[in-house]
Structure 1
Amino acid sequence: MTEKTPNNQWKTLDRDLGRIATLESATQYVARPMIGLGVALAFMVIAGLAAGLLFGASPTNWVVIAAAIFGAYMALNIGANDVANNMGPAVGANALTMGGAIVIAALCESAGALLAGGDVVSTISKGIIDPDSVSNSQIFIWAMMAALISSALWVNLATWIGAPVSTTHSVVGGVMGAGIAAAGFAAVNWPTMGTIAASWVISPVLGGAIAAGFLAFIKTFIIYQDDKIAAARRWVPVLIGIMGGTFATYLALKGLKKIISIDLGPALLIGVVSGALIYVVSAPLIRRQSEGLENRNKSLKVLFGLPLVLSAALLSFAHGANDVANAVGPLAAIVHAEEFGEFAGKVHIPLWVMIIGAFGISFGLMLFGPKLIRMVGSQITKLNPMRAYCVALSAAITVIVASWLGLPVSSTHIAVGGVFGVGFFREWHAERRIRQTSASRPAAKRIAAEERRRRKLVRRSHFMTIVAAWVITVPAAALLSGLIFLGLQAMFV
């Protein structure tokens, strides 16, 4: 029998090691989702333990522990779903990598929640349910628990199917459903619900219109100019100044409630002054950055890259300051009711409750956020830095306009509406150019109607899925909350 040569032995060893490496890679790929679930469960357990330690000993301490666990679950889902609307356009435009977007968003969301998050939250979600209609504090606690569980489950389901939904409207639906189950339809403030329903239509349409308007401006005054670089030097600092002034107003109105309460008039003045200063600073920077750039559209993307990243970071800060109460509002209400034996329309949020919300949003984003970031950033319509910049700018402006009109709007609806607005404007603009070409050049090759439909720039399947999810969010969360409340009442009351 012949012995194996050393070369054959090494080949056999290399082949076996290659098979082991392939098996390890496959195992890691399969186990990756389980790691995320494991970290999320560990965070929820830690939140429950922290609640048990910080709330103190009491016969009903387990209620607060359970509420803290579900509050952490809700915060994880907000991070997985809601934050994608701020970072999706920047990632889709290749201004940020996925890892960079997650790091920036996690830091800004946490900073916004902890530094500027409101320390007082409306536990009845802006007057949706009359507190007097709830008979006692125990019923109120189960109603808030049902609202917390149902809204978290609904946002989790929406994230799983790839639909960016409003966590604010999920909480609104949860509170409404539990209130109806506890005290009947008369407990609901229906005019307030009507205003919220109107915002479903107004906020995305307004966000889309503003984003489309800015894109039309950029195309007319920069992209279609003979000297694109000279036009960019003139107008990009103006757009950056508008962005800076808008975000200064936005943060003054929405992000600084914990520090100082500012009305719309002073906030607008702050925005105008800030915008003017930012314009003065950015003009020479853009002039220096544009030196040596070629006179083509690709060069323009460079000038919009950094402003887009900054706008995404500011949106995340403002979102953390404004929307963290969606996760911790019902939890804070339960803690207050357990501690004082009564319920109130407004309560202070303990620091440990705010920390659960802030860190939960960050963990949810890091573990489960990439799916929705890709959806918003690249799967609805193709974005570049100019289009994504229009989306970010429209989100801040729409919130300010809605505050002036007194409309309760959703940042999710506005941001995704901005993406739709940019996509549909591009479709309209492309169709108009085709018609103009056909009119001026009758002999030009015409595109068949079927081919033109195939070339639509907004994916209709995603559009219909997202709109359907928006429409059913409040009734679905309300129905789920009502059923959970009845179940809790049957088991514990």
Structure 2
Amino acid sequence: MASTVATLIASTASVPPAQQFLWMLILGFIIAFVLAFSVGANDVANSFGTAVGSGVVTLKQACILASIFETVGSVLLGAKVSETIRKGLIDVNMYNSSQEHLLMAGSVSAMFGSAVWQLVASFLKLPISGTHCIVGATIGFSLVAKGQKGVKWSELIKIVMSWFISPLLSGIMSGILFFLVRAFILRKADPVPNGLRALPVFYACTVGINLFSIMYTGAPWLKSPRRWLACAHFRRLQASVC
């Protein structure tokens, strides 16, 4: 893939700069859609596999819910992760001296490699992580393009550590929650009333955590309304004091 992209770059050397890499942008959009399809085919199963397997929702309902909430989640909370993938793993400053096309070609190659492997894993019924795939693909093209100097190894170590910490913390939280549910709901003589009383608590905790995450680590465009509200509140306080 990388050699094919390099050949196409060489063949467009005489084209004006504004149009020289337009084909790469279009190709990137197409591969991005294929990558999104492959992520949905594999990662959504990680999110809804237990719900569908237990009979809580049907496969059709899971697909509808995933289409809505995976999109909303990526829009509201995906900015920080995208920023890390974009320039947190590799040193993008090394591509400033008329080598932006090399970064574009590497990013397209990384998306293509990640998409192919996720599709293969889906056919093999392997529940892999899309994040792991794109991180590995990005590191791979950077090593080929710039060697070890192009990789931010400290950030990579943090990401790899999170891969081991996340399952551990998830297992602990799941164990604690199931212990509480079993002790205070399932083992009661009539668990239905206790379960109905506990539902608002679970909903409130889930909504509260999501809102907190959106407000403090959400998309950059969400910060503008917060700044406007803060400034308006400050002006009201200033007017009341004066």
TM superposition score category, shorter chain reference: 0.7 to 0.9
> Aligned-pair distance for 1:99?
1.0
Corresponding position of 1:159: 122
Which structure's residues are more often helix, by fraction? 2
Corresponding position of 2:155: 192
Aligned counterparts of 2:45 and 2:224: Cα–Cα separation in 1: 28
Residues 108 and 66 (structure 1 numbering): CA distance in 2 closer, same or farther, change over 3 Å?
A: same
Aligned counterparts of 2:216 and 2:30: Cα–Cα separation in 1: 31
Amino acid at match of 1:104: L
Which structure: larger Rg?
1
TM-score, normalised to structure 1's length? 0.38
Verify: 1:237 aligned to 2:200, yes or no: yes
Corresponding position of 1:171: 134
Residues 142 and 256 (structure 1 numbering): CA distance in 2 closer, same or farther, change over 3 Å?
A: closer
Residues 176 and 120 (structure 1 numbering): CA distance in 2 closer, same or farther, change over 3 Å?
A: closer
Verify: 1:89 aligned to 2:50, yes or no: yes
> Aligned-pair distance for 1:105?
1.8
Aligned counterparts of 1:111 and 1:68: Cα–Cα separation in 2: 20
* CA offsets 1:359-406 (integer angstroms, 9 cap, x no match): xxxxxxxxxxxxxxxxxxxxxxxxxxxxxxxxxxxxxxxxxxxxxxxx
Corresponding position of 2:222: 259
Matched residue SS, 1:82: helix
Amino acid at match of 2:112: I
Gaps of 5+ in 1: 1-56, 264-493
The percentage of aligned residue pairs carrying the same residue is 31
Aligned counterparts of 2:187 and 2:32: Cα–Cα separation in 1: 50
Corresponding position of 2:165: 202
Corresponding position of 1:14: none
Corresponding position of 2:62: 101
Amino acid at match of 2:185: I
Corresponding position of 1:148: 111
Structure 1 residue ranges (4+ consecutive) displaced by more than 6 angstroms after TM superposition: none
Amino acid at match of 1:182: A
* CA offsets 1:162-221 (integer angstroms, 9 cap, x no match): 122221221111111111101111221111111111111100111111011100111111
Corresponding position of 1:422: none
Where relative contact order (Cα < 8 A, 6+ residues apart) is larger, the structure is: 1
> Aligned-pair distance for 1:103?
1.6
Residues 143 and 79 (structure 1 numbering): CA distance in 2 closer, same or farther, change over 3 Å?
A: same
TM-score, normalised to structure 2's length? 0.73
Verify: 1:60 aligned to 2:18, yes or no: no
Amino acid at match of 2:135: V
- Over the residues paired in the alignment, what is the CA RMSD in angstroms? 2.9
Aligned length: 207
Matched residue SS, 1:122: helix
Matched residue SS, 1:83: helix
> Aligned-pair distance for 1:161?
1.5
